[in-house]
Amino acid sequence: MLAILTVIAPVFALMALGYGAVRFRLYPAEGIKSLIAFVNNFATPCLLFYSLVTSDFSAAFNPAILGPFYLGALICFAIGIVIALKLFGNTPGEAVSVGFSGTFTNTVLIGLPIMQRAYGADALPVTLSIIGVHGAILLTVGMVTMELMRRDGAPLGKTLVVAVRRVASNPLIWGIAAGMIGYFSGLQLIEPAEAFLVMMSSAVVPAALFGIGGALNEFKLSDNWKQALVASAIKLIVHPAIAYVLMIWVLRVPMDIARYGILLSAMPAGVNVYVFATYYNRSVSVAANTILIATIASAVTISGWLYILTL
């Protein structure tokens, strides 16, 4: 247990530092969005590109990891929608937004730092293979489901075009695409270029954690906290539990590989659940509360999953 605390303590300490810096006005609140933009648009694409070019990406692209991760996410999506409809009496559009809040993982701002801290560079190839299709799969499924279920939905063809544009305009996708092209073309980095990429990559962990901690100041608990608590439980407990059962019990994936996919599925909800909710103006407060509750609660649940994955 001490070893687990040693892994996660610096991660959440950086998040706490970011929260406290903004809360006590030691860092400007308006600067957090710019910091996160730097992480998402510049530093992380460099990390993705460099990691893919210098790793054995083809060996890391494992269907026995990707399949359970995304099947688990889709099952959680369905569970969240049904609970929101049947238990909380939401409209179909609101239910889709609640379900999405328990589906979309914070793979970059929290996932990457914790994976690196817990398992080192060995975890990056598998982690990046999941991140590479994360937004493309889940945003498309979420948007199509929303348009099919809400009463004032747009034509399905238009929705698919919007989904493709949102995915294609994501700098993370650019970094992954460039990295894959570089990997399969046998690109060899010259020393100045490699040094630049290493420096940019090293900025991801502290900047991302400080930024997400500062961003938590924007989210306040509302009357919809019960729905957010359910969505958080689905994301932090149900998703990794499904991934664990499928990878370990069904597909018999070795634990030293499966643990990467399982732990990544245990990360809290990403900021995109809030973006999704505001885009459709459905259950915005639930999405915001889910980010807040899940991020804070993940300090405990991630510790629990790290312990389970060491057994």
| Per-residue model confidence as pLDDT tens digits over 3-51 | 788 888 998 999 999 999 999 999 999 999 999 999 989 998 998 899 8
Sequence-distant (6+) residues with CB within 8 A of 185 are none
Distances 160 to 148, 166, 205 between C-alpha atoms, Å: 12, 10, 33
pLDDT per residue as tens digits for the range 169-180: 888 788 888 988
pLDDT over 70 at 2, yes or no? no
Q: Residue 167: what pLDDT?
A: 74
At 89, list the tokens. 């009496």
Produce one character per residue of 26-48: b if its CB has 16 or more CB atoms within 10 Å, e if not.
ebeeeebeebbebbbebbbbbbb
pLDDT averaged over every residue in the chain: 90
At 134, list the tokens. 């994360």
Measured distance CA(102)–CA(267) in Å, rounded:
11
Measured distance CA(117)–CA(131) in Å, rounded:
17
Sequence-distant (6+) residues with CB within 8 A of 211 are 18, 32, 35, 36, 39, 109
Collapse the DSSP code of 182 into the 3-class scheme (helix H, G, I; strand E, B; otherwise coil) and give the result.
helix
Q: Residue 54: what pLDDT?
A: 84
pLDDT over 70 at 102, yes or no? yes
Collapse the DSSP code of 1 into the 3-class scheme (helix H, G, I; strand E, B; otherwise coil) and give the result.
coil
Query: pLDDT tier at 237 (50, 70, 90 boundaries)?
Result: very high
Question: Which residue would you say has higher pLDDT here, 49 or 244?
Answer: 244
Measured distance CA(73)–CA(76) in Å, rounded:
5
At 83, list the tokens. 């609970």
Collapse the DSSP code of 64 into the 3-class scheme (helix H, G, I; strand E, B; otherwise coil) and give the result.
helix
Expressed in angstroms, the distance from the first to the final Cα of the chain is 12
Q: Which of 66-80, 160-174, 258-272 has the lowest mean pLDDT?
A: 160-174
pLDDT over 80 at 1, yes or no? no
φ/ψ (deg, to 5) at 105 = -90, 145
| pTM of this structure | 0.86
Measured distance CA(77)–CA(146) in Å, rounded:
12
Q: Residue 286: what pLDDT?
A: 94
Of 83-87, 112-116, 121-125, which has the strongest mean pLDDT?
83-87
Rounded mean pLDDT, 254-268: 96
Measured distance CA(215)–CA(28) in Å, rounded:
11
Collapse the DSSP code of 103 into the 3-class scheme (helix H, G, I; strand E, B; otherwise coil) and give the result.
coil
Collapse the DSSP code of 147 into the 3-class scheme (helix H, G, I; strand E, B; otherwise coil) and give the result.
helix
What is the residue type of 138? L
Rounded mean pLDDT, 48-70: 84
pLDDT over 80 at 166, yes or no? no
pLDDT over 70 at 154, yes or no? no
Measured distance CA(146)–CA(169) in Å, rounded:
21
What is the residue type of 231? A
